[in-house]
Amino acid sequence: MGKPEHSDHQATISSDAPPPPYTEGPRPESSTSSNINPLTKVNSPYQPFPPVLYAHYQMKIFTTVFHLGDETNKKLFAVSVHTGWTGKGPGRPGTILHNGPTDKDPMFAAAGEEFGEPGSTISPNSAITLPPLSAGAPGGRCTEIMRSTTSQGTAVFRFTIEVQQGDGSLQRENFEWRKCKGEEAKIIDPPWKTGFKLVRLSHRPSSSVGEKSQEVTSEGLEVVATFFWNDSWSLMDPFKLEFMGSGRTGALGDRFALMTIITGLRLQWLRIQSRTNERNIQRGEARFVPGA
């Protein structure tokens, strides 16, 4: 049996603290000094990412692979679910996004469990594996952390990622996937019934933007993506991810877009396991003691 992978390149997030520094090997004094777009090193033929991605499942009984695509091509990216012990993934159970239409294509990003010490309860956090921030970085990959918690009675999943600035540099910003409930759920149109919206916590949009796709939360924060599940629980087309506002225009950069897609896929897996339920999140937080 394989051994779970532990990365030394992890970044965590606190809701009341500024974004933490990126810790991937030797780095410049400030992340804003870098104008490297690491995703161009991956040479994906599907960039820029489509503004809307739909999940498409296959008519096969025994398969762990499905696809993400747009309205013109249902198979832009393959997504595979893995156990973590085959040696093909990042060393932990979860989901792999492939850089192409088959599971034979290389791993683009992955999302899975953040293992604690042996014998401890599995962490309520998720480990997100991404390409390195810059070419030639030690280890070849980096790991971000998405933390599940509850806020104002709803489930939220928080992470930090580099966002492209107007001058081409990168700056880390805080985001959270927030479950749509009550008045906030009015953003959902049929046949989509339930879901999450991705809120940009570090920035308030300008009222002069005038983007048709722009949405804001009740406190005036920008919604940069949504992740909705099908009202009919369709087995073939169960969910969609849509970029909005500055997320839709591409202004936030490819790294942000990739992080949005892979964390959305993680939400799908957590939902299947009933781990997007507020009570279950609270129970998981209460049981988990880091280092126990």
Summarised one tens digit per residue, pLDDT across range 76-123 is 999 998 765 555 555 567 899 999 999 999 999 999 988 754 444 567
**CA-to-CA distance for 177 and 195, rounded, in angstroms?**
9
Is this structure's pTM higher than 0.75? yes
pLDDT 10s digits, 173-200: 999 999 986 556 566 666 667 889 999 9
Whether 6 is in a domain gets the answer no
Of 13-22, 118-127, 195-204, where does the model show the most confidence? 195-204
Domain that holds residue 69: 47-287
Other C-beta atoms lying within 10 Å of the C-beta of residue 236: 11
Mean pLDDT of the chain: 75
Top pLDDT among 175 and 43 is at: 175
Whether 172 is in a domain gets the answer yes
Q: Residues 6 or more apart from 144 whose CB is under 8 A from it?
A: 10, 11, 127, 128, 130, 159, 160, 161, 259
First to last CA, the chain: 23
Q: Is the pLDDT of residue 22 over 70?
A: no
Whether 66 is in a domain gets the answer yes
Q: What is the mean pLDDT of residues 48-60?
A: 85
Whether 1 is in a domain gets the answer no
**Dihedral pair phi/psi, residue 98, rounded to 5°:** -95, 150
Q: Is the pLDDT of residue 214 over 90?
A: no
Whether 215 is in a domain gets the answer yes
Whether 29 is in a domain gets the answer no
Whether 274 is in a domain gets the answer yes
Whether 30 is in a domain gets the answer no
The domain tally of the chain equals 1
